[in-house]
Amino acid sequence: DLKMIYFVTPTYPRPEQVPELTRLAHTLMHVPRLHWIIADDQPACSDIVSDILRRSGLPYTHISSPKPYIYKESNIPRGVANRRASLTWLRDNVHEGVLYFGDDDNTVDLQLFDEIRQTKKVSMFPVGLIGTYGVSTPVVKDGKVVAFFDSWPGSRTFPVDMAGFAVNIEFLKPSASMPYIAGHEEDRFLVSLGLKLDEIEPLAANCSKVLVWHTKTAKYKKPSLKINLEKIDDLPK
């Protein structure tokens, strides 16, 4: 019996949202035993997001989880209220399975799902296209994580990206939390689990393969177009 993967995606409205979620849906549709949790950074669940979820045919949960008002202006940290709401939902509804935080704009190799499904406590693996080093990854020696390779250590215990780890839900403590501190969300979350370095399970061939990328879509800039109504009026009636 395959363990269920709970794939948690924070998302927010913008011109790129539907294409990002469409592409992600088309990846996830290939994955067996996956429950998609989309946490919408809006006061109500949006219909366009609901429609993508419904048409995916996947089991899903759609949560409305707007960021608190004080973070509206700065727009950082990104996707925290929604991930926290997803953690609450998991705590209330799920007792086993594997949690993975999958942003709406990342790119995932299907092999990653076979890997993270094996997670006993916390597993880790490389993430491509991160920072100035181009990859963020645990450093593995004799099958154990001994250090981290990340271009922004930021005095973090676990300097990893959100896409670089998975957690067995049985290891999710009631104290599990994610702070509203940009750059420290992952580290503080992992620390809140009471994770020890020697408990980390390195995946992706001892962290030698990149199976997920922190891709970013260029922001669509609305061109200033003036439609020439006169020309349209000139058309033969």
- Give the interface with Mn ion as residue ranges (CB under 5 A): 103, 105
For ligand UDP, the binding residue among 41, 150, 186, 201 (CB under 6 A) is 41
Looking from the CA of 110 toward its CB, the CA atoms found within 13 Å total 9
Asked whether position 187 contacts ligand UDP by CB under 6 A, the answer is no
Based on its alpha-carbon atoms, the radius of gyration of the chain, rounded to whole angstroms, reads 20
> Token pair of 230, please?
């006169």
- Taking Cα atoms as reference points, which of 93, 81, 90 lies closest to residue 185? 81
Element (H, E) at 50: helix 47-56
The listed partner (Mn ion, ligand UDP, none) that binds 161, CB under 5 to 8 Å by sort, is none
Asked whether position 104 contacts ligand UDP by CB under 6 A, the answer is yes
186 assigned to active site = yes
Residue 94's CB is within 10 A of a number of other CB atoms, namely: 17
Rounded to an integer, what distance in angstroms lies between the CA atom of residue 173 and that of residue 2? 23
- Which span (29-37, 101-109, 142-150, 189-197) binds ligand UDP, by CB under 6 A? 101-109
The amino acid sitting at 178 is M
Asked whether position 10 contacts ligand UDP by CB under 6 A, the answer is yes
- Which span (72-80, 92-100, 148-156, 164-172) binds ligand UDP, by CB under 6 A? 72-80
Catalytic residue among 96, 186, 199, 201: 186
Contacts of residue 213, Cβ cutoff 8 Å, sequence gap at least 6: 106, 107, 108, 127, 128, 129
Taking the complex as a whole, the smallest distance from the CB of residue 101 to Mn ion amounts, in Å, to 11
Instruction: Indicate which residues carry an active-site annotation.
Output: 186
State the residues that interact with ligand UDP by CB under 6 A: 9-12, 41, 75, 78-79, 82, 103-105, 216
